[in-house]
């Protein structure tokens, strides 16, 4: 009975979201206050019913209700409670419910924190979001209802959650990624609301910026969590595979990064208006593309859910209607968006434009590499795959170029900057960065590698330029500390995110250049050397978990004869599905990770295993954390709050006069 309440609640959410998708938007056209003001309560209603739905699904998992098909397929009585709860997003149906619920959460946040925007605009934004949610719930009810029952004979026990997912990473990565992903739907809705209203001034860019920054920050974190999880769980020693399902978040991220920069130019200078709207549409399209690729089963990947062509068609239809409709509307409205072109060839506008061109080209080439096999197969019927070398060949030079320009950006002024000023400011920084680039890798690793030299040079170029900018900006204040306090949150946010880029760049280059690995067969008592570490295999013992049995090995790691770590990699067999699974053992460090994957037992007591030494790998995720904080800092800038307060008061006054008109209209 209870699962039916969940399904019923989903249908109620559908009804409310259908009203939300129509009434407020029509109200905005006819200037009907009553209809427009229904947007907020309707959004709250959709959120509440989706929350009830997802809570009931979680309840079905926790109570082992295997008569619900989705629960039977993704859980088991032996599964630990924390995984039972999170198995909600362990498969297609539930994860789509989570996706929709997250969007409803964002929508509720917009409804609450939008007091400063005109009601007409809020009604349109929430209406567009309601339209998206309508599509998503229809999709769920038509092709993938998580509350479907197995009748008449439910299984006694469930098939268990995929063993690779029974891990801490699974608890946090999907929700974070989804939250970032659907955040761009909000930005999309803002852009659509602006297009619908036909008022293409810079106001929408100002309202949108904090939302775009937060969505971007969360998406950054979500992607980084996925990379970190894949690194320690999948056991192949890598952190990025150019997998067809990793690529769409990256494409979205690249468009999103371009967007937050172009929004700055649109808000401050009123330039690139049409372009910014287009980027908002593209970032949203990227997020839907990710859904499509994962859930249609068209591409081979570690993430693919069980394939079902109907689902693919349905998502393609949602993609076509929303993105196609948006582009059509864009085409009609684009002539209205007149941008000023009052800037010189050396100016902040041009640097932001270069940033946008590089990021969009990068996104387009990743898109091409991801979808090319599909298109190729449709045309020639031959199956092909595109390897990582393609992506590396394109992506790395583009990012290096981006990073080079990145530290010039903050020095430039709007409209015009003199080249001599830039040379004078950055000449010494460039020289110092180059010296550091040559010396640092040489001193630390005693090896010469061109990628490492370049990455450290570019990384120090960014950081030194940043430090000098801080010195410049605080020079005229009474004390340095006062100077630092006077700088805005958005300035710190920008610098922090840029520094994150530098840290990540160094991490990527050094890990790729200096990592070493070795696959060996060892018996207890034997050891093997790698880099300047010795790994001593002590032997194995059996371990039993709640839903698995396994063998745990013990390794002692020595550096120059001294013991520095004890590692316990495991090899598990999950009981419900009889699937083997390896659990890596990692000794994480700021400068290097030591990493052991256990293979299988061979003749006698000997085991096959792979041992990795990965210098600076943590810097990749550290960089992403900096970027995340940067994005959040920028969104927390006082400027937005001040503006909000001022606007809220204005709205309240105009709201009073409006509401009288609305009541008149409603009664007539």
Q: Quick one: 38 or 259, whose CB is closer to other proteins?
A: 259
Q: Quick one: 600 or 649, whose CB is closer to other proteins?
A: 600
Q: Quick one: 562 or 603, whose CB is closer to other proteins?
A: 603
Q: How far is the CB of 510 from other proteins (least distance, A)?
A: 24
Q: How far is the CB of 300 from other proteins (least distance, A)?
A: 5
Residues 505-564 touching other proteins, rule: CB under 8 A, are 519-521
Near other proteins by CB under 8 A: residue from 383, 443, 475, 478: 383
Near other proteins by CB under 8 A: residue from 304, 502, 504, 620: 304
Site string for other proteins, 319-348 (x = CB under 8 A): ----------------------xx--x---
Separation of alpha carbons 404 and 148, rounded Å: 54
Near other proteins by CB under 8 A: residue from 300, 435, 472, 526: 300
Q: Is residue 636 a contact residue for other proteins (CB under 8 A)? A: no
Task: Convert 217-249 to b/e letters by CB count within 10 Å (16 or more is b).
Answer: bbbbbbbbbbbbbbbbbbbebbbbbbbbbbbbb
Q: Is residue 41 a contact residue for other proteins (CB under 8 A)? A: no
Segment contacting other proteins by CB under 8 A, of 189-197, 286-294, 502-510, 597-605 = 597-605
Near other proteins by CB under 8 A: residue from 386, 400, 432, 625: 386
What is the separation, in whole angstroms, between the first and last Cα of the chain? 45
- Concatenating the DSSP letter of every residue in 262-309 gives HHHHHHHH--SHHHHHHHHHHHHHHHHHHHHHHHH--S--TTPPPP-H
Task: Convert 102-113 to b/e letters by CB count within 10 Å (16 or more is b).
Answer: bbbbbbbbbbee
Phi, psi for 223 (deg, rounded to 5): -65, -45
Q: Quick one: 258 or 499, whose CB is closer to other proteins?
A: 258
Q: Is residue 196 a contact residue for other proteins (CB under 8 A)? A: no
Phi, psi for 271 (deg, rounded to 5): -105, 170
Q: How far is the CB of 589 from other proteins (least distance, A)?
A: 24
Q: How far is the CB of 139 from other proteins (least distance, A)?
A: 20
Q: How far is the CB of 608 from other proteins (least distance, A)?
A: 5
Note whether 448 and 437 are within 8 A (CB): no
Note whether 365 and 395 are within 8 A (CB): yes
DSSP code for 568 = -
| Helix/strand/coil for 191 | helix
Site string for other proteins, 238-277 (x = CB under 8 A): ----------------------------------------
Q: How far is the CB of 458 from other proteins (least distance, A)?
A: 20
Site string for other proteins, 363-382 (x = CB under 8 A): -xx--xx--x---------x
Q: Is residue 298 a contact residue for other proteins (CB under 8 A)? A: yes
Cα distances from 48 to residues 53, 104, 615, in angstroms, run 9, 9, 47
Separation of alpha carbons 580 and 432, rounded Å: 52
Q: Quick one: 602 or 645, whose CB is closer to other proteins?
A: 602
Near other proteins by CB under 8 A: residue from 384, 450, 484, 549: 384
Site string for other proteins, 466-505 (x = CB under 8 A): ----------------------------------------
Hey, what long-range contacts does 236-242 have (CB within 8 A, 24 or more apart)?
236/597, 237/515, 237/517, 237/595, 237/597, 237/610, 237/612, 237/614, 239/511, 239/617, 239/620, 241/388, 242/369, 242/387, 242/388, 242/391
Q: Quick one: 47 or 70, whose CB is closer to other proteins?
A: 70
Q: Is residue 608 a contact residue for other proteins (CB under 8 A)? A: yes
Q: How far is the CB of 602 from other proteins (least distance, A)?
A: 6
Separation of alpha carbons 299 and 302, rounded Å: 10
Length of the chain: 668
Near other proteins by CB under 8 A: residue from 67, 449, 468, 579: 579
Near other proteins by CB under 8 A: residue from 109, 394, 405, 434: 394
Task: Quickly list H helices, 31-116.
Answer: 33-37, 39-62, 69-74, 81-86, 92-112
Note whether 595 and 603 are within 8 A (CB): no
Q: How far is the CB of 632 from other proteins (least distance, A)?
A: 32
Q: Quick one: 29 or 243, whose CB is closer to other proteins?
A: 243
DSSP code for 340 = P
CB atoms within 10 A of CB 14: 20
Q: Quick one: 31 or 519, whose CB is closer to other proteins?
A: 519
Cα distances from 601 to residues 335, 567, 570, 610, in angstroms, run 69, 18, 12, 13
Q: Is residue 176 a contact residue for other proteins (CB under 8 A)? A: no
Strand order in the sheet with 585-587: 516-522, 607-615, 592-601, 585-587
Q: Quick one: 341 or 590, whose CB is closer to other proteins?
A: 341
Backbone φ/ψ region at 637: left (φ over 0), alpha (ψ -120 to 50), beta: beta
Near other proteins by CB under 8 A: residue from 30, 385, 424, 488: 385
Q: Is residue 590 a contact residue for other proteins (CB under 8 A)? A: no
Q: Which residues bind other proteins (CB under 8 A)?
A: 162-164, 297-300, 302, 304-307, 341-342, 345, 350, 353, 357, 361, 364-365, 368-369, 372, 382-387, 389-390, 393-394, 398, 519-521, 577, 579-582, 597, 599-600, 602-603, 608-610
């Amino acid at each position: 009975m209870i699962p039916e309440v969940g399904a019923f609640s989903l249908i109620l959410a559908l009804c409310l979201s259908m009203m939300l998708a129509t009434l407020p938007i029509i109200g905005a056209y006819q200037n009907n206050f009553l209809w427009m003001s229904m947007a907020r309560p309707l959004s709250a209603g959709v959120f509440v019913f989706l929350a009830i739905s997802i809570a009931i699904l979680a309840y079905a998992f926790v109570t082992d209700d295997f008569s619900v098909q989705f629960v039977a397929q993704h859980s088991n009585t032996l599964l630990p409670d924390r995984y039972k709860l999170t198995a909600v997003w362990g498969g297609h149906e539930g994860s789509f419910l989570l996706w929709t619920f997250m969007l409803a959460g964002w929508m509720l946040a917009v409804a609450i924190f939008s007091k400063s925007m005109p009601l007409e605009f809020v009604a349109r934004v929430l209406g567009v979001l309601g339209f998206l949610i309508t599509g998503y719930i229809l999709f769920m009810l038509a092709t993938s209802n998580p509350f479907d029952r197995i009748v008449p004979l439910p299984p006694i026990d469930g098939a268990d959650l995929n063993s690779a997912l029974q891990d801490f990473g699974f608890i946090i990565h999907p929700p974070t990624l989804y939250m970032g992903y659907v955040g761009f739907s909000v930005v999309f809705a803002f852009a659509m609301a602006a297009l619908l209203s036909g008022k293409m001034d810079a106001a929408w860019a100002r309202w949108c910026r904090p939302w775009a920054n937060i969505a971007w920050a969360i998406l950054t974190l979500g992607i980084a969590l996925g990379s970190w999880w894949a690194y320690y769980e999948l056991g192949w020693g890598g952190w990025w595979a150019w997998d067809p399902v990793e690529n769409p978040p990256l494409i979205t991220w690249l468009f999103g990064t371009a967007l937050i920069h172009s929004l700055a130019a649109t808000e401050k200078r009123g330039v690139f208006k049409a372009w910014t709207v287009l980027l908002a549409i593209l970032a949203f399209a990227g997020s839907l593309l990710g859904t499509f690729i994962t859930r249609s089963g068209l591409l081979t990947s570690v993430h693919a859910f069980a394939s079902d062509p109907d689902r693919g068609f349905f998502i393609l239809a949602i993609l076509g209607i929303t993105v196609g409709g948006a582009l059509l509307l864009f085409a009609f409205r684009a002539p209205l968006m007149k941008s000023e072109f009052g800037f010189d060839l050396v100016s902040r506008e041009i640097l932001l434009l270069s940033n946008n061109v590089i990021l969009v080209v990068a996104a387009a080439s990743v898109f091409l590499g991801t979808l090319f096999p599909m298109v190729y197969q449709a045309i020639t019927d031959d199956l092909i795959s595109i390897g990582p070398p393609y992506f590396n060949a394109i992506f790395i030079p583009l990012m290096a170029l981006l990073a080079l320009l990145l530290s010039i950006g903050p020095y430039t002024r709007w409209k015009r900057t003199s080249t001599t000023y830039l040379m004078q400011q950055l000449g010494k920084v460039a020289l110092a960065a180059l010296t550091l680039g040559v010396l640092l890798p040489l001193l630390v690793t005693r090896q010469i590698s061109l990628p490492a030299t370049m990455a450290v040079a570019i990384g120090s170029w960014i950081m030194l330029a940043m430090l000098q900018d801080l010195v410049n900006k605080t020079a005229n204040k009474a004390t340095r500390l006062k100077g630092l306090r006077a700088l805005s949150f958005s300035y710190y946010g920008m610098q922090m995110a840029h520094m994150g880029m530098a840290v990540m760049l160094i991490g990527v280059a050094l890990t790729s250049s200096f990592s070493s690995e070795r696959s060996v067969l060892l018996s207890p008592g034997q050891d093997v050397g790698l880099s300047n570490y010795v790994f001593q295999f002590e032997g194995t013992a059996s371990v039993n978990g709640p839903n698995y049995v396994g063998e745990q090995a013990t390794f002692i790691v020595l550096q120059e004869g001294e013991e520095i770590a004890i590692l316990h990699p495991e090899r598990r067999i999950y009981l419900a599905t009889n699937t083997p699974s390896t659990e890596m053992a990692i000794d994480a460090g700021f400068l290097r990770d030591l990493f052991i994957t256990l293979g299988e037992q061979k003749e006698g007591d000997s085991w096959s295993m792979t041992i990795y030494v990965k210098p600076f790998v943590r810097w990749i995720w550290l960089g992403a954390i900096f970027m995340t904080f940067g994005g959040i800092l920028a969104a927390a800038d006082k400027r937005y709050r001040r503006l909000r307060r001022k606007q809220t008061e204005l709205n309240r006054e105009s709201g009073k006069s409006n509401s009288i008109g609305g009541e008149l209209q409603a009664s007539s």
